[in-house]
Amino acid sequence: MNADPTTHDAGGRGGPLAGRLVVDLSRALAGPHAGMMLGDLGARVIKVETPGTGDDTRGWGPPFVGPEDDRQSTYFLSCNRNKESIALDLKSEDGRGVLTELLRRADVVIENFRTGVLDRLGFSTDAMLALNPGLVILSITGFGHDGPEAKRSGYDQIVQGEAGLMSLTGADPENPQRVGVPIADLLSGMYGAYGAVAALLERERTGRGQVVRTSLLASIIGVHAFQGTRTTVAGEVPQAQGNHHPSIAPYGLFSCRGGKVQISVGSEKLWAAFTTAFGIDATRPEFATNADRVGHRDLLIGVIEDAFSAYGAEPLLEKLNAAGIPAGKVRTLDEVYAWEQVHSQGLLTTVQHPVLGDIDLPGAPLRFFDGPVETTLTEHAAPPLLDGDGEAIRAWLARPVAEDVRA
């Protein structure tokens, strides 16, 4: 068990997981996102890639950026910060030998191979735990590790459909839509990282590692939230209904003069303030309670948009804010990354890339404070070049373990 925070050379980076070693065998997005989250928390993350081609996402694009003879995928850049890269052919004796040494030293290994692939390579769960009884094995699949459909390949949009999310998303039931980011991949990575950290915490008590399993299917069902209980408890089947909340009204996107705004009127107190500010008759029986307003949603939308038609978007947002009504605009991503509030939260970070120079990446979403002092990592590493750290990692593995201590 690698409980000693001085066991690994992580370049002196701080963070809650400083001194922990993560071996990331995954590719595409779910596993790499989990690895990036652990790296954001200070772990040393070594990404094992296929020689020659690397992670699949190195070829996903456009867009590609950089010089013509060394184009870089922005997709890969999105999910691999704070990692090192080593290229290993796991079908070769050398590749398996290097991976074996990495696993001996690791705290966490992440994999999203199809069930049985690692077994055939000689790295079954039992084999890895025999090498390192303190190892936490995070394994992510598409539809789960067992059950009648365990062998199905899991791709984000397919799982968004199979797990019901697309039936809830879109303008109406006849036009299901996927979420605009690969949300099943991202959520399974988040759940996986959460599970791995919990297993590391339990290891402090038991001294043993364990296997943590999640799937793209589980991640989507895990966020069904009130739509799930609406089905399982109330017996209703939710359907897509556009940009308005199924259980709260008014809550959604509304047209005004020359634009659109979003509002959230989530309590009777806010409803009273809202109707007062915009001269809406709150005594109408159709609007008496939230349930009434939900039942007469189309009528309510018409009344509100009629009131909003006198205002442009910015003056309307000012009036809503003055009345204490939660409201906002719909920003494009370039507007988001130019927003001062985003910068104030450390949600844009500049890293030095070996090919691209200084680039801006979306930042880590967590911040930590020790009293008034922020302890979040402020120096992040750019996503690595393929095998960019291979020589250094091999040299580190060649040192006797007793010498493997940071100065």
Residues catalogued as catalytic? 185
**What is the rounded CA–CA span in Å between residue 236 and residue 230?**
6
Q: Are 40 and 17 in contact (CB under 8 A)?
A: no
Q: Are 167 and 173 in contact (CB under 8 A)?
A: yes
| Angle at 188 (CA atoms; ends 9, 203), nearest 5 degrees | 50
Burial (Cβ within 10 Å: 0-12, 13-18, ≥19) of residue 74: middle
For 134, the token pair is: 């303190």
Name the β-bridge partners of 65: 72
Largest separation between any pair of C-alpha atoms in the chain: 79
Strand order in the sheet with 259-264: 251-256, 259-264, 327-328
Q: Are 186 and 35 in contact (CB under 8 A)?
A: no
For 176, the token pair is: 């299901």
Residue 330's identity, in one-letter code, is V
236 SS3 class: coil
221 SS3 class: helix
**Among candidate residues 247, 249, 219, the one with its CA nearest the CA of residue 234:** 247
Within 8 A by CB and 6+ apart from 323, the residues are: 273, 274, 276, 277
Q: Are 110 and 31 in contact (CB under 8 A)?
A: yes
**For 40, how many CA atoms within 13 A lie in the half-sphere containing its CB?**
24
What beta strand segments (E) does 116-156 contain? 136-141
312 SS3 class: strand
35 SS3 class: helix
User: Alpha carbon of 81 to those of 76, 116, 326, 405: distances in Å?
Assistant: 9, 29, 34, 24
For 392, the token pair is: 């250094």
Helices and strands: H and E segment counts in the chain: 17, 15
